[in-house]
A and B are shown apart, each in its own frame.
Chain A
Amino acid sequence: MLQTLNVVLLVLLIVTALTACLHRNLLVAVLMLSVFSLVMGLVWVMLRAPDLALAEVVAVGVVTTVFFVVTIFRTQRREG
């Protein structure tokens, strides 16, 4: 059971990371990065590192995402 969950989480990690890298819409990429860090938090919990999981979800998942979103809204887009 835990093994299956682990595999699912790791596959999700790869998918979200690739989407964040390859997607042309920056907003989608940033939100994918947020999803990546939430999944990564779950992986940290499974690796028995709850401290790291909290820091990952709160700092990377929320704070950095808001910074990126604000920056995207404040900059202009040059490329279609």
Chain B
Amino acid sequence: MKKAVTLIFIGGLAAALLYTVALLPPMGDADNPTNRHIVPRYHERGEEEAGTGNLVAAVILNYRGYDTMVEVTIFSAALAGIFAVLGTVRKRINRSYIDRAGVRFSFISGTTVLLLMPLIIVFSAYTILYGTDLPGGGFQGGAAIGAGVMISSVAYGFHRAQRRLSHHVRIILESTAISAFFVVGTVGVIGGAAFLTYMLPALTPGSQSVLRTVMLLVLQFGIGIKVGIICTSILFALMMEEDTSDVEHAS
């Protein structure tokens, strides 16, 4: 009975969803409502107004700058939630099951990580640096460097990774994004415009665009470092283990 009701409900939901999808306007059509409202403005004046060749970066960092600023604080909230649930950081535990395992890390995985690491670092730096003009940006580059740190700490053990990236260093680096947004926003306010506007009207138009590029780079690097460190911190918090050696002795 219960199963029949569930089946009918899910079937009805699927039918309704499929019917709605069939009613949607064709994908990528220039006459779609979403493409008529604000997208033409981005296409016509985005490059000149935002100073970026990559229109996605223009939307993320310039037109929707506030959105991104609040979004990066959500990462911090997620990290705080993970720390609160796992609660291992407070007790200063820095062991993990990888270090506890009797087998040393495999030579093959260690060498693979060693060979891949420089490529990952260069790729992520390139993605962040050219994120304003090419596909990519702070989030993608930061996640790439975070993934690199993650595979190396999985391959070489948590203890060695923890020594190189201690908790205090990570706490400082976790706040880079919001600091970058604060600095860039304040420069805009000093220039006489609203918060998070990339201008300083006292400058000549030529140096204005240079300043804007520098500010965008600061933002990209702030977001990148923050996302990478957040990924690493979540992994470290997941890998930490409570010290159960006493319990094992007792049993």
Contact = CB atoms under 8 A, between A and B. Distances in A.
A2 interface: no
A56 B143 CA distance: 10
A67 B235 contact: yes
Interface residues on A, range: 10 to 19
Contact of B154 (A47, A51, A54, A66): A66
Interface stretch (A7-15, A19-27, A68-76): A68-76
**Interface of B (DSSP majority class):** helix
Given A63-B143, A67-B238, A70-B239, A54 B136 contact: yes
Given A51-B135, A63-B146, A70 B235 contact: yes
Contacts, number: 50
A58 interface: yes
Interface of A: 47, 50-51, 53-55, 58-59, 62-63, 66-67, 70-71, 73-74
Contact of A62 (B135, B150, B234): B150
Given A58-B143, A70-B239, A51 B234 contact: no
A39 to B, nearest CB: 18
